[in-house]
Chain A
Amino acid sequence: NAGVTQTPKFQVLKTGQSMTLQCAQDMNHEYMSWYRQDPGMGLRLIHYSVGAGITDQGEVPNGYNVSRSTTEDFPLRLLSAAPSQTSVYFCASNRQRGTGEQFFGPGTRLTVL
C-alpha cells in the first residue's frame, strides 16, 4: 500500500493564481481531511469528508474548496491564492470505526508571492 500520497511536494504561486493540491489514499478509508501547518500554531482543519460525495468545512475553510467524488481522492483547490495561504498542507485519512489511527501524507509546501 502506498498509504496517503500528496502532490506536488513544493509549489510557488503568484497572488491570484489558482491550483489544486492532490491527495489520494489506497486504504479504503472513509474519513479524509486537509490541514494546514503554520509556525507556532497547531495543525488546523481546513475541510474534511466522511465519505464519497460528503464534505464539510473545518476551522479555516475560507479560500479553499474540496470535493470527494471517489473514496480514494480528496483534492484541495485554492481559488485565488493569497500570501496568507503560504503554509505546509497535510492530507490525512482514517477509518470511521476501528482504531482511528491517523495516516498523514508527506505534505505540500506552498509559497504564495
Chain B
Amino acid sequence: KNEVEQSPQNLTAQEGEFITINCSYSVGISALHWLQQHPGGGIVSLFMLSSGKKKHGRLIATINIQEKHSSLHITASHPRDSAVYICAVKGGATNKLIFGTGTLLAVQP
C-alpha cells in the first residue's frame, strides 16, 4: 500500500462545477503539499499546509492531522484548471517528500 493515496485517479467535470480531490497518508508528517502539473509542463506548488485550511483564489486546501487526510477543492471550475494535481507529504524531521500518483482532472466547457 502506498504511503500517500489520492482519489479519484481521474476526474471529469463540467465547467462551473465544485471539485474535490482527496489525499490520505499513513505516515506522520510535518507538512503536506498540493502541486499542479499541466500536460507536458512543469510542476507548480499550490499550497503547503500543516494544519487547518488555506485559500488562494478559487482553490481551497484543508488538512485533518488526526485523520491523516487532506482535500483540495476547486470552486467554479474552468477548463484551464485541467491538470494533474499531486499530493506530497513531508515526514517528520526529514526534508524528503513522499508523493501520491496524482489526480488527472479534465474540466470540459
Contact = CB atoms under 8 A, between A and B. Distances in A.
A41 B101 contact: yes
Contact of A45 (B41, B86, B96): B96
Contacts of B97: 43, 45, 102
Given A40-B101, A43-B99, A107-B42, A101 B86 contact: no
Interface string B41-63: 11111001000000000000000
A5 B31 CA distance: 25
Contacts, number: 55
B35 to A, nearest CB: 7
Contact of B96 (A48, A96, A104): A48
A55 to B, nearest CB: 13
A42 B101 contact: yes
Interface residues of B, number: 22
A61 interface: no
B95 A101 contact: no
Given A42-B86, A105-B42, A107-B42, A100 B31 contact: yes
A89 to B, nearest CB: 12
Contact of A94 (B4, B42, B95, B100): B95
Interface in B46-105: 48, 86, 88, 90, 95-102
Interface of A: 31, 33, 35, 40-45, 48, 50, 58, 90, 92, 94, 96, 99-107
Given A43-B86, A96-B95, 6 more contacts: A42-B86, A42-B101, A44-B99, A48-B95, A92-B43, A94-B95
Interface of B: 2, 4, 31, 33, 35, 41-45, 48, 86, 88, 90, 95-102
